[in-house]
Amino acid sequence: MCKILFSCLLALLMFTVPASAQESAASFDMSSVSRFGFGNILLGGWTPQDGWVRAEQLQNGERFQPLHIWGGEECRVFGLNSLKGEGVISAMHSDHPGEAPGAVPGVPSFDTHTPEGIIKAPSGLLTILCPWDVQPRKATVMKPGNATYQGIVKRFLAAQGLKAETPNIVQLFKVDLEGDGVDEVLICAQNIAGRSEASFEPDLPLITGAGVPQAAQPGAYSLLLLRKIVAGKVVELPLRVFVSPKGSTPVDDNWTPPVVAKACQFDDLNGDGVLEIVAATAHYEGYAYHVFEVKGGELREVLTMGMGN
């Protein structure tokens, strides 16, 4: 019965796709195109001709009308190192204001429909429309109390003007991003958010409770560092760094609200065999998801989308 209802739902959602868009999809080689979101927020996509395509381009650009998410497209949902399920993606809530309770204006959010029922994609999972193997290599979760990496974080923070005797590493991953047989290590360390405010477990949303504090305490830090071999030397490439050596408050002219970062997944989002890094950040009354591309010694943020960012 579930499969019958699912087939009816898929047919109903596909009915909303304009015929012109279905016909013009032939202008793109769909075997080399991706569209994806994290949690229930659309991040964007990739085409060989255009490279990375932002969510607003994907949904509003005339050239990308064939790739517009109308609702009814088949998708896969991934967690860290595993396929969680398959289904269809709904139309973007921002395309139908007032019809999706809880939707944030200007943020392209969506639901994922599965044979088991209608669910909203959890905040810790990737939803993607593409034909290739998204996770050709798996990440190894390491114990965060590793003394070697605590020393690395300690030296990095010292270079930022902050002394931390025993850095609080909350995530530690080893993964071969480029498929060259050499592992990279991603380090996440922070002392801003506690267990009642954030989760650093795989496949769970970053913010779980009261949220990130509005102001940083003296000595506060949050960072994501990629440790990588470049030209035969080990380097640390920062993805996200927040450091408050002296502390500040909202009344200060140079005040910056604290930002907490988290590594989410390692996925091949453009089909080139190299894994991108998907990360999440959160600050007071706001959050975002980010995609980082790694090529040799270069680390580049290619896509981001969120609320209040």
Q: Determine which helix (DSSP H) or strand (DSSP E) holds 57, and give its type and residue range.
A: helix 55-60
**Alpha-carbon dihedral 183, 272, 201, 186, rounded to 10 degrees:** 30
Calpha distance 79→128 (Å, rounded): 11
One digit per residue, the tens of pLDDT, for the chain of length 309 reads 444 444 444 444 433 545 444 444 558 999 999 999 998 899 999 999 999 999 999 999 999 999 999 999 999 999 999 998 898 998 898 888 777 666 777 789 998 887 776 565 556 899 999 999 999 999 999 999 899 999 999 999 999 988 888 999 999 999 999 999 999 999 999 999 888 888 999 899 898 777 788 877 888 999 999 999 998 999 999 999 999 876 656 666 566 778 999 999 999 999 999 999 999 999 888 889 999 999 888 999 999 998 875
Dist CA 94 CA 104 (whole Å): 8
Q: Tell me the pTM.
A: 0.89
